[in-house]
Amino acid sequence: MIIYVHGFNSSPASHKANQLRKRLAAIGREGEFSCPALSHWPQQALGRLKEEVAKAETDTVTLVGSSLGGFYATWLTERLGCRSVLVNPAITPHEGLRAYLGKQRNLYTDEAYEFTEDHLEQLTGIYVPRPVRMDRYFLIHTTGDELLDWRVAVKRYRGCRQIVVDGSDHGFAEFGDYIDCVLEFAAN
């Protein structure tokens, strides 16, 4: 089972989620894909993800977490032992998202909400200071990510399989070129 974990102000309609969904459908594996719509509240998002993981055997689940989704995937991997592909993952969103306090609008659903200190506190509460299950991670990061420094992620996840893509950006339009690597990792 592959569970795509979307990022901040994103949704199951994101470009990378659609690329992964289409690739799995093309090879007859659409039934192995899930991409739940996640709440902007971190604890609710994690609760929903735990429900998705529980639907399958944990050792058969691979999370594909993008940005904030990578942050959530790290927590789930450390707690539950599932595999995670981290795509331009947020490392410290409880710090980095401080700049987004205030009114927000989901880019895909148009849902409006207030991003507050309570959100940051929930993110702080699920921060993993030091991931240790490096055999369970696969990091893919672009050097051109304008929001997240690839060098921080490479250092944090040292010891796991890694691909650093020269250029691109945070949205990583070229993600489709790496889906077969993701599927290979998920199969092991």
Predicted pLDDT of residue 174:
93
Angle at 117 between CA 170 and CA 36, to 5 degrees: 50
Confidence of residue 74 (pLDDT cuts 50, 70, 90): very high
Tens digits of per-residue pLDDT, 123-161? 999 999 999 999 999 999 999 999 999 999 999 999 999
Predicted pLDDT of residue 156:
97
Task: Classify domain 2-187 by CATH number.
Answer: 3.40.50.1820
CB 46 within 8 A of CB 64: no
Q: Give the integer Cα–Cα distance in Å for 122 and 126.
A: 7
Tens digits of per-residue pLDDT, 29-48? 999 999 999 999 999 999 99
CB 64 within 8 A of CB 182: yes
Confidence of residue 171 (pLDDT cuts 50, 70, 90): confident
Predicted pLDDT of residue 57:
77
Other Cβ atoms less than 10 A from the Cβ of 22: the count is 13
Averaged pLDDT score across all residues of the chain: 95
Q: What are the structural domain ranges in the chain?
A: 2-187
Residues with Cβ within 8 Å of 175's Cβ and at least 6 positions away in sequence, in order, are 15, 16, 19, 20, 87, 140
Model confidence, pTM: 0.96
Q: Which residue reads 């947020």 in tokens? A: 90
